[in-house]
């Protein structure tokens, strides 16, 4: 009889250990889920209408950390006009309302001939209500490369603060609101969109 009680005690102990292991595993999975869950709810996720010195452009930041960006036509100043293709890239969370995104655009001349790429490293901050964003970071850079992928120019548009270059801004797009500024107007003929850094400062 004593051996039976010992056997039952051992079985109960083993069962308890198995239950504990399952509980720990379940807790670990729940913790993992809680760790990954905020990504989908980061305020940058969504589609934005942004306004920059180059003009209006749309950006979509997906929960899988990819970015798709539209692009306006950019003038090369004294040179011939250049056209930016749609941008493809990735983004990373840097804070509860901040992120760093890297987007690559192809660049062609006015005849459609490939002339290189533009890589934009942007540092974004979303407002507390989650409806607007800005980028005026001195760390934001625009890197131009030629057809051999050699770097030809690196521009930091906000290096000297917003006193010289207005920050890029964005508004979250919805079905009923596209995010265009109310009563806003486009660049005047005497101040067309331009390629950094050959841009007139207002």
CA distance 46 to 24: 35
Q: Does 29 reside within a domain?
A: no
Whether residue 59 lies inside any domain: the answer is yes
User: How many residues in total does the chain contain?
Assistant: 202
Instruction: Look at residue 11 and tell me if it is in a domain.
Output: no
- Structural domain contains residue 60: yes
Identify the CATH number of the domain in which residue 59 sits: 2.40.128
Domain that holds residue 103: 46-172
Domain-located, residue 127: yes
The answer to the question of residue 80 being in a domain is: yes
Integer CA distances (angstroms), 161 to 17, 98, 141, in order: 61, 18, 13
What percent of the chain has a predicted confidence (pLDDT) above 90? 40
Q: Per the structure, how many domains does the chain have? A: 1
Q: Is the residue at 84 inside a domain? A: yes
Q: Is residue 63 part of a domain?
A: yes
Interval 5-26: pLDDT, tens: 433 333 344 344 334 334 334 4
For residue 183, name the pLDDT band (cuts at 50, 70, 90): low
pTM here is 0.68
Query: pLDDT tens digits for 51-72?
Result: 877 678 899 999 999 999 987 6
């Amino acid at each position: 009889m004593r051996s039976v009680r010992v056997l039952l005690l051992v079985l109960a102990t083993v069962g308890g250990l198995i239950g504990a292991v399952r509980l720990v595993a379940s807790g670990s999975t729940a913790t993992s889920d809680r760790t990954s869950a905020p990504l989908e709810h980061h305020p940058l996720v969504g589609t934005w209408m942004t306004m920059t010195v180059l003009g209006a452009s749309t950006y979509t930041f997906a929960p899988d950390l990819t970015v798709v960006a539209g692009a306006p036509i950019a003038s090369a100043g004294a040179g011939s006009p250049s056209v930016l293709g749609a941008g493809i890239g990735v983004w990373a969370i840097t804070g509860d309302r901040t992120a760093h995104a890297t987007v690559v655009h192809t660049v062609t001349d006015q005849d459609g001939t490939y002339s290189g790429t533009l890589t934009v490293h942007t540092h974004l901050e979303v407002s507390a209500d989650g409806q607007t964003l800005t980028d005026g970071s001195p760390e934001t850079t625009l890197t131009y490369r030629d057809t051999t992928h050699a770097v030809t120019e690196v521009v930091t548009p906000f290096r000297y603060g917003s006193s010289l270059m207005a920050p890029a801004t964005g508004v979250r797009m919805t079905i009923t609101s596209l995010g265009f500024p109310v009563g806003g107007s486009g660049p005047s003929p005497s101040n067309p969109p331009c390629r950094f850094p050959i841009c007139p400062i207002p």
